[in-house]
Amino acid sequence: MARSKFNRKNSTGSAQPLQRKSSAGAAQQSQGLIGSTTPQETLEAIDYHFDHLNTNLKSFLLSDPNTLNLKRFVDFWSSPENIDSTSPNVAASICGCSWYLGMNYLSIGMLAEARALTLNGCFLQQCYNTPIEDITALCSDSAPAVFRTTLPFFNDGLVAISTQQRLAIFLKSKVTTDYQRRMAFATRTTKSKSQVQDYINQIGSDWNETPGGSSKAKAFRKRASTGMNVDGGEKFLDIVLIDAHTKKETSMRHGTSVPLKVLVKKFAEDQDLPLKKLRFSYKGKNLFLSTLGQKSSQDLGISHLDSIFVHNKDASDDEATSSSSDESSKENHHSSPAVVTPSLKKFKPFSRKNSHTPCAYVLQEEQDRRNHSRKLSKMFEEAEPRFKEIRQKLADLSIECQPKAKSMPKRITPSRVKPIDNPCTIGQGGKVGVPFYVVHVGETDNLYKTRHTVVGKKNSLSIDLHGYTRAQALEELDTKLPEWVNTAHRGQYPFVIPVTIICGGGNQILSETVDEWIKSNDNVANAPKKKFSRRASY
């Protein structure tokens, strides 16, 4: 049964020292794992983790750690109140925590406790791979020497606790850095919960206790909390934020070197609007929150009393359409207005894909893109004849050159061949079969490329195999093949000639022989079906 990462194949096994270190150096390296600065704080953190483990585990391991052995571990974990903790999921959790606590005991010099927790982790790792019932049976029936092979994980723990140096290396290989960080973080955040709450209460008290109780001082504190440095010689400018739907203008003071995201967050808080639903634009260009978090008004070229338009995505499409024209005319009062084509006035039905598109009222960037596309399309239309001519030339070059077609000579019917009496078929009459084969002989690459070969007196060849035995027929065909190939190569393109092989309609032994011979030779192929009839005049 597979048991995840704790099986024997994936486990580290007995730790082999990769680098020699002194025991003091190993302890010093493990120091501070749990996030504490003193041994007392480390012990308090260890007690916190023990509270979340088995309630009787601490007294079992630490009451007399030097007398722990396999029998005691089996008796403790097989008891009715603890046997549920040996299930794979629970055993894996307690196993890792035991090794982590053993590493922390080792960091403060408590070697006996570290050995006890290391053995406990190894025993639970063995329970993860072997049911506790099987371990109990082995402990009662087997000799101690058998444990080395039947309980390999627990045996690794016994080897690891033999020396302090081996123990330190073993724990380091078992407890990863990420696991140490997560365990230390859980300890710190849980222990310091009351301290964090006290700190929050103190900040809230300081926030509300304003000198004189004036609203101006409270507003000053609220503005200072946004990140503006009012006492550091910061230059300020007034930025007008205009609601694209209601045309309401809000003037806000902002530092030139402060990220612009501080301003939009302050605006969203004052207007009681969700920041994620707002879209901002300046001079026809979208201002994304990721950009606003990194750039200031000075970086974006925003000057004193410039306007930033705010669009709420929850507003209706009609309001967005009406506000887009007003915004475009106000932002571009020094330049020619953008031309809105009829296609832009047609909105597609709502879909999930369209819900993530930019706001409809910002048209300048889209208009520039469409104008560029029109100009590019016009250029392609003007160059289309030239492109067509170039494509035609390339197509002509890629076509394989063919020889000039010549007038075909008048097809001459092959002369009749006087039939030869075959003693084997006398008196049997005609039989169903293949009496002859029309084949193409010549260039291998062109055998299947053409259906019309050059036929004339010189290259209208045939061979009659009547009366031949199987061996004689094969010998005759092998003798004639080089002559036919040579004749084809001396002829015209495609260097293929037709040959008629006559085998008769007898018992089809010759027919089968010819068929096998055609398949075994690369220069011979069956010709496509032509005008020959089955009873050709041969």
Query: Mind listing the pLDDT tens digit of every residue in the chain (538 residues)?
Result: 334 444 444 444 433 333 333 333 433 344 445 555 688 888 888 887 887 777 788 888 888 888 888 888 888 888 888 888 888 888 888 888 888 888 888 888 888 888 998 988 898 888 888 888 888 888 776 666 677 788 888 888 888 888 989 989 998 888 888 888 878 776 655 555 555 566 666 666 665 554 444 554 455 444 444 444 444 456 788 888 898 888 888 888 888 888 888 888 888 888 888 887 888 888 888 888 777 777 888 788 888 888 888 888 776 444 544 444 454 444 444 444 444 444 444 444 544 444 444 444 446 788 888 888 888 888 888 888 899 999 888 888 877 666 677 777 777 777 777 776 665 544 444 455 688 888 999 888 888 776 555 555 454 688 888 888 889 989 999 999 999 999 988 988 888 899 999 887 777 888 888 989 999 988 898 888 755 444 444 4
Q: What's the pLDDT at 453?
A: 57
> Per the confidence metrics, is the pTM higher than 0.85?
no
Is the preceding peptide bond at 494 cis, omega within 30 degrees of 0?
Answer: yes
Strand partners, 526: 439
Residue 420: CA count within 13 A, CB half-sphere? 11
Measured distance CA(307)–CA(250) in Å, rounded: 10
Q: What's the pLDDT at 67?
A: 84
For the record, the structure tokens of 411 come out as: 């097809």
Strand partners, 227: none
- Contact assessment for residue 191 and residue 45, using Cβ atoms and an 8 Å cutoff: yes
For the record, the structure tokens of 51 come out as: 């509270």
User: Per-domain residue ranges for the chain?
Assistant: 4-191, 225-349, 431-526
Q: What's the pLDDT at 138?
A: 80
CATH number for region 225-349: 3.10.20.90
Measured distance CA(103)–CA(110) in Å, rounded: 10
Query: Of 471, 522, 461, nearest to 497 (Cα)?
Result: 461
360 phi and psi, to 5 degrees?
-75, -20
Give the burial string for 143-174 (b: 16+ CB within 10 Å, else e): eeeebeeebbbbbbbbbbbeebbbbbbbbbbb
Q: What's the pLDDT at 285?
A: 82
For the record, the structure tokens of 312 come out as: 């709420």
Q: Cβ of 276: how many Cβ atoms within 10 Å?
A: 9
Contact partners, residue 485, CB within 8 Å, separation at least 6: 441, 442, 523
Q: What's the pLDDT at 417?
A: 72
Q: 464: which DSSP letter?
A: E
Q: What's the pLDDT at 390?
A: 92
Q: What's the pLDDT at 452?
A: 57
Output 507-516 pairs: Cβ under 8 A, ≥24 positions apart: 507/424, 507/425, 507/431, 508/431, 508/433, 508/434, 509/470, 510/465, 510/468, 510/470, 510/473, 511/433, 511/434, 511/435, 511/437, 513/470, 513/473, 513/474, 514/437, 514/465, 514/473, 514/477, 515/434, 515/437
**Angle of helix 177-191 versus helix 39-51 axis, rounded to 10:** 90
Positive or negative, the CA dihedral 84, 61, 14, 185 is: positive
Q: What's the pLDDT at 482?
A: 92
